[in-house]
Chain A
Amino acid sequence: MEDTQRIVKDFILAQFLPGEDPAALEPTTPLVTSAILDSLATMRLVSFLEERFGIQVEAHEASVDNLNTLDLITALVRSKR
């Protein structure tokens, strides 16, 4: 689980928060409700998750319920694997 979270965190930091202090992105930091993940970024993240972890995410799962924090994203990936 920690490994999954680290991979996702690295991706988000590299793609959407370049130059940001990694410590500032905590497992419960809101991503969707704070506009870090907009619709474009969400689709890029979903493509990454599908490709990197070999899972398939449904359209209705691309929501704040599943993607708002690193903890939630990790839980979604785990539930799909």
Chain B
Amino acid sequence: MSARQRYVAGGLQGAGTLAILAFTGRLVLGALGIAGADASPGLYELAILLAGIALVLRGAALRDEGAWASVAAWWDAPADVRRATVVRLGTLGLEFALLYLLIRVYEIENPSFWTLIAPLLIGGAALHALVPRPHRLGYFLLLSFTAIWLVFGYPDAPWLITLGVTIVAACHLPIPFGLRVAVVGGLGVALAAARVDLLPVPWSRAVWPILGSMFMFRTIVYLYDLRNLKVPASWTARLAYFFLLPNVAFPLFPVVDFAAFRRTYYDTEAHRILQRGVEWMFRGTLQLILYRLVYQYLMIAQGDVRSWSDLARFLVANFLLYVRVSGQFHLIIGSLHLFGFHLPETHRRPFFASSFTDFWRRINIYWKDFMTKVFYYPLHFRLKRYGERTAMVVATLAVFVMTWALHSYQWFWLLGSFPVTATDTLFWGTLAVLLVFNSLREARLGRARTLTAKGFDAKAFAARSFATVGTFIAICLLWSLWMSPTFGDWLALWSVSGWAPSTTMGGLPVLSLGVLLTAAVLLPLSGSSGGLRGAKDPTVFTRGATATTLLMGGVLLLALPKVGAVMGDPTARVVASLRSSQLNARDVTQLQRGYYEDLMGVSRFNSQLWEVYMRRPPAAAWPRLEETTAAHLTGDFRKVELVPGAKINFLGSILTVNRWGMRDRDYEQVRPEGTRRYALMGASVEMGWGVGDGEAFESLLETSLDREARRAPGGGGVEVLNFSIGAFTVPQQLLILDRVLDFSPDVVLLAAHEIDARESVNRILDRAREGVAVPLDSLASAARTAGLGSAPEPLVRKRLEEHKRELLEWMYARFAAQVRARGALPVWVFVPTPDREPSQEVPSLAALARRAGFAVIDLSDAYRGVDLASLQLTRFDYHPNTKGHRLIADALERALRADPAIMSHRAPPAPGH
């Protein structure tokens, strides 16, 4: 070993040691509370530590002569070989960077993933490549533990790791195998008891879904393989298998097979594995963007299904939502490729299945393999003495019984309850029967298989297309049954007539983007679908890398504001809406959802874990209005009102309630002589949720109008009284309208949102569930006609939803008439929220308000040209921040000034004044 080689090795080790010391020093300073350092290390500190360890390991390896021999061999290789290596490394580096940008820009899944886990995965993979091969599995395990720490912190992270290690250790107790299984089962029962709060535990509820996800199925596979292992696995491999790095960000995780995990580890050249990983992660990201397109533009609420075309759309959209599972699984397995795990694909274009058996083979392949390995083969082998057909039929049926039971078992660990429903049972039962018939047919007639590409056969293509369409329709129907909470819900779906679609799908931009994204998802890139092609072709890497880089660059370009400006509306708006990282919070309560949506919608099943993922403060630090002392429950249909005189710190800002119960400064009830008065009625946005006193658009508007008015010769002041209360909907506004009119406003501004009609229906049903009667004769009569109190709630909801626009129009008309009767002018104001672009429904709502007797102001363009994310209160709370309120105030003032009819309208003083 030359002196220069020693210097290189020593230099790397020295630099690594320095990094480790820097990390340790920072940790000690933090623990001592010196220099404001935080005792809890974050991503950047841990990155320094991880880089230090990688450098030390590489430096140590370079002290070996053998390591230098391979460097020398590379150096002596022909120039084109060396160039190819450099190009490969450079290309992969570029792809890593683009992939990270894509995940970040499109805010894939949750903030924990795009801010912590994605950089750890991609940066960690780069460092991992620096680590000598013998240490890479251990380094991967270290990265996995780091991911757990970053997401959970103290004390949940140490608890999760301790619990996991205990379970793995129990699998290796020096006792007979049967006893070991019993011990592991006992541990499982104890944890299940704790899961349902029968046993107290020192970790938070956020830990359960991830602990469950890591161990509920992998322990079964592991014990099965443990019994049949020829070569024992190292402890590093065992732990790495359970604590798979991306698992901490994805509770719904593919059932990775232990044997495959070991068998495929660097089973081919590293650059090919890395390239496939990048491609799958990219494909997964595209699918998750496609999911948003389906969710935001194709999916409709069950209550909106009125015609046969609506029904067809609902059925197809419900099934297509599954693309999110496929997307997540591609992202997960692709990311494991970055660490050398050359695992097989999890989905093979399930929407293109041409039979039920084909569907079973294409969708969630890891689940199918798990079932085949652990249940199908063992049972089939036992039963084959009764004949091939009997064994196949019984084993297939048993697999479906176990699939049904284990899906409930999965639900239990993730959600904490067993969802045994009739629709669930019927779905799995029907699929089992269809699959058995299909299998028997295949056993009799055979199935087309091929090793080589065949020429185009029009007849075969037509037959296959026909079978594919038929299978797709059948699965859509079955899927809708599975997604329905009850059989009654599913039946209610079918009470439709006519063919007219009820709501827009977003038109040509959505269709074009859908086609482009689908084409990109289906593109074979380097032929990495797990088939036979390309395994030995040296150009595969180059083709795959070039295609992936260009496509990633293209998708990133789409997100650039300048490109959006070129595309123009509405395409730019659609693309902008796809950059939203999560489900629309309002829609979550509206749309029909099913098994997978529930399991992936962490916000719905585990609020603690969702807070961890959103990097959100605990619930106590971000309360609902009714949980504060500034509001109290009324017990009637209004549900909540503000407490007069209250002053609290709400979400970090001061919220003051005046003596009249308004979130506003104080006013006299009698309108001062010469003063022009507006009354604003709205919900949380208008109330100024999360912004301080004087920062809501109502206050800003008042200040500006008042200042201008006083400048005019002889001009009186202007007052804007804010009667808005969080979560108020139109029926509630109607109930407080008389009190508002007692303040003699000249103009009453009713703030409107796209969800008003549906939220009004929700409020009726919510309050009815709490035993509160529906007020207002016509509303009560409509509720009675819909069967409220006599028919099942899904049916009542559907009936009310069918007439929600008529109900809204009736409420608007009543509102406007009541305001005009007191001489004031009713003005309907559409106020956008910064969570999404206003929909195409707004003009029709405005027309409805106009018919009902309102003057109309549409503020849809209030945020035009501004990044919506910059206007949100926080990344988890979509109410407008002070900047958002400023934009609304400016837009509203412009609209008011542009309409002399509103600006000049004066109401008579209240009688007696």
**A35 vs B448: C-alpha distance in the bound complex, in angstroms?**
11
Q: Which residues, 27 to 78 on A, are CB-close (under 8 Å) to B?
A: 29-30, 33-36, 38-40, 42-44, 47, 58-60, 62-65
Interface string of B221-255 (1 = CB under 8 A from A): 00010011000000000000000000000000000
Chain A residues whose CB sits within 8 angstroms of the CB of B450 once the complex forms: 17, 20
Q: Of B68-76, B82-90, B380-388, B748-756, which stretch is located at the interface?
A: B380-388
B372–A59 contact, CB under 8 A?
no
A40-B442 in contact given A34-B530, A64-B260, A65-B259 (Cβ < 8 Å): yes
Chain B residues whose CB sits within 8 angstroms of the CB of A34 once the complex forms: 451, 530-532
B451–A20 contact, CB under 8 A?
yes
Residue of A nearest to B224 (CB): A60
**A62 vs B376: C-alpha distance in the bound complex, in angstroms?**
11
Closest beta carbon of chain A to B190's beta carbon, Å: 29
Residue of B nearest to A15 (CB): B446
Is A1 part of the binding interface, using a Cβ–Cβ cutoff of 8 Å? no
Residue of B nearest to A16 (CB): B449
Residue of A nearest to B227 (CB): A60
Is B528 part of the binding interface, using a Cβ–Cβ cutoff of 8 Å? no
B344–A33 contact, CB under 8 A?
yes
A59-B381 in contact given A34-B531, A40-B392 (Cβ < 8 Å): yes
Interface string of B440-460 (1 = CB under 8 A from A): 001100110111100000000
A25–B224 contact, CB under 8 A?
no
Chain B residues whose CB sits within 8 angstroms of the CB of A17 once the complex forms: 449-451
Residue of A nearest to B229 (CB): A60
| Chain A interfacial residues counted at CB < 8 A | 28
Interface string of B373-395 (1 = CB under 8 A from A): 10011101110100010011000
Closest beta carbon of chain A to B649's beta carbon, Å: 60
Q: A63: which of B227, B348, B373, B447 is its contact (CB, 8 Å)?
A: B373
Chain B residues whose CB sits within 8 angstroms of the CB of A43 once the complex forms: 377, 380, 384, 388, 391-392
Residue of A nearest to B344 (CB): A33
Q: B443: which of A20, A40, A58 is its contact (CB, 8 Å)?
A: A40
Residue of B nearest to A68 (CB): B263
**A64 vs B259: C-alpha distance in the bound complex, in angstroms?**
9
Is B439 part of the binding interface, using a Cβ–Cβ cutoff of 8 Å? yes
Q: B372: which of A20, A21, A25, A39 is its contact (CB, 8 Å)?
A: A39
Most buried by B among A16, A36, A44, A63: A63
Residue of A nearest to B535 (CB): A30
**A36 vs B442: C-alpha distance in the bound complex, in angstroms?**
13
Closest beta carbon of chain B to A71's beta carbon, Å: 15
**A40 vs B447: C-alpha distance in the bound complex, in angstroms?**
10
Q: B449: which of A36, A44, A60, A63 is its contact (CB, 8 Å)?
A: A36
Interface string of B250-282 (1 = CB under 8 A from A): 000000000110010000000000000000000
Is B836 part of the binding interface, using a Cβ–Cβ cutoff of 8 Å? no
Chain A residues whose CB sits within 8 angstroms of the CB of B392 once the complex forms: 40, 43
B361–A38 contact, CB under 8 A?
yes
A47–B532 contact, CB under 8 A?
no
B452–A40 contact, CB under 8 A?
no
Chain B residues whose CB sits within 8 angstroms of the CB of A64 once the complex forms: 259-260, 263
Chain A residues whose CB sits within 8 angstroms of the CB of B452 once the complex forms: 20-21, 24
A60–B451 contact, CB under 8 A?
no
**A35 vs B381: C-alpha distance in the bound complex, in angstroms?**
21
Residue of B nearest to A43 (CB): B380
Residue of B nearest to A28 (CB): B535
Chain A residues whose CB sits within 8 angstroms of the CB of B227 once the complex forms: 60
Q: B532: which of A18, A30, A38, A44 is its contact (CB, 8 Å)?
A: A30
A39–B259 contact, CB under 8 A?
no
B377–A39 contact, CB under 8 A?
yes
Residue of A nearest to B376 (CB): A39
Residue of B nearest to A44 (CB): B388
Closest beta carbon of chain A to B169's beta carbon, Å: 24
Residue of A nearest to B440 (CB): A40
Q: Which residues, 375 to 431 on B, are CB-close (under 8 Å) to A?
A: 376-378, 380-382, 384, 388, 391-392
**A64 vs B342: C-alpha distance in the bound complex, in angstroms?**
14
A47-B449 in contact given A40-B442, A62-B377 (Cβ < 8 Å): no
Closest beta carbon of chain B to A54's beta carbon, Å: 16
Chain B residues whose CB sits within 8 angstroms of the CB of A20 once the complex forms: 449-452
Interface string of B339-353 (1 = CB under 8 A from A): 000001000100000
Interface string of A7-29 (1 = CB under 8 A from B): 00000000111101100110001
**A18 vs B449: C-alpha distance in the bound complex, in angstroms?**
8
Most buried by A among B376, B447, B451, B532: B451
Residue of A nearest to B399 (CB): A39
Chain A residues whose CB sits within 8 angstroms of the CB of B391 once the complex forms: 43
Chain A residues whose CB sits within 8 angstroms of the CB of B357 once the complex forms: 38
A47-B377 in contact given A17-B449, A21-B452, A30-B532 (Cβ < 8 Å): no
Chain A residues whose CB sits within 8 angstroms of the CB of B388 once the complex forms: 43-44, 47
**A59 vs B451: C-alpha distance in the bound complex, in angstroms?**
27
**A59 vs B357: C-alpha distance in the bound complex, in angstroms?**
22
B228–A60 contact, CB under 8 A?
yes
Closest beta carbon of chain A to B145's beta carbon, Å: 30
Most buried by B among A21, A36, A44, A60: A60
Closest beta carbon of chain B to A45's beta carbon, Å: 12
**A11 vs B452: C-alpha distance in the bound complex, in angstroms?**
18
Residue of B nearest to A38 (CB): B361
B263–A65 contact, CB under 8 A?
yes
**A2 vs B384: C-alpha distance in the bound complex, in angstroms?**
29
Chain B residues whose CB sits within 8 angstroms of the CB of A35 once the complex forms: 348, 361, 449
Closest beta carbon of chain A to B357's beta carbon, Å: 8
Closest beta carbon of chain A to B537's beta carbon, Å: 15
Chain A residues whose CB sits within 8 angstroms of the CB of B381 once the complex forms: 58-59, 62
Chain B residues whose CB sits within 8 angstroms of the CB of A38 once the complex forms: 357, 361, 447
A24–B451 contact, CB under 8 A?
yes
**A59 vs B227: C-alpha distance in the bound complex, in angstroms?**
12
Q: A40: which of B259, B439, B530 is its contact (CB, 8 Å)?
A: B439
**A18 vs B451: C-alpha distance in the bound complex, in angstroms?**
11
**A75 vs B109: C-alpha distance in the bound complex, in angstroms?**
46
**A40 vs B450: C-alpha distance in the bound complex, in angstroms?**
17
Closest beta carbon of chain B to A63's beta carbon, Å: 7
Closest beta carbon of chain A to B365's beta carbon, Å: 9
Closest beta carbon of chain A to B431's beta carbon, Å: 16
Closest beta carbon of chain A to B844's beta carbon, Å: 50
A29-B377 in contact given A20-B452, A47-B388 (Cβ < 8 Å): no
Closest beta carbon of chain A to B259's beta carbon, Å: 6
**A43 vs B451: C-alpha distance in the bound complex, in angstroms?**
20
**A29 vs B392: C-alpha distance in the bound complex, in angstroms?**
27
Chain B residues whose CB sits within 8 angstroms of the CB of A21 once the complex forms: 451-452
Residue of B nearest to A42 (CB): B377
Chain B residues whose CB sits within 8 angstroms of the CB of A29 once the complex forms: 451, 532
Closest beta carbon of chain A to B260's beta carbon, Å: 7
Chain B residues whose CB sits within 8 angstroms of the CB of A15 once the complex forms: 446
Enumerate 14 A-B pairs (CB-CB under 8 Å) in ascending A order. Answer: A20-B450, A20-B452, A21-B451, A24-B451, A24-B452, A34-B531, A43-B384, A43-B391, A43-B392, A60-B224, A60-B227, A60-B228, A63-B259, A65-B259
Q: Chain B interface (Cβ within 8 Å of chain A)?
A: 224, 227-228, 259-260, 263, 344, 348, 357, 361, 372-373, 376-378, 380-382, 384, 388, 391-392, 439, 442-443, 446-447, 449-452, 530-532
Task: Name the 4 nearest CB pairs between A and B, nearest first.
Answer: A24-B451, A60-B228, A59-B381, A59-B378
Q: Chain A interface (Cβ within 8 Å of chain B)?
A: 15-18, 20-21, 24-25, 29-30, 33-36, 38-40, 42-44, 47, 58-60, 62-65
> Given A21-B452, A63-B259, A64-B260, 13 other A-B contacts at CB below 8 A?
A16-B449, A17-B451, A29-B451, A34-B531, A35-B361, A36-B451, A40-B442, A43-B391, A44-B388, A47-B388, A59-B382, A62-B381, A65-B263
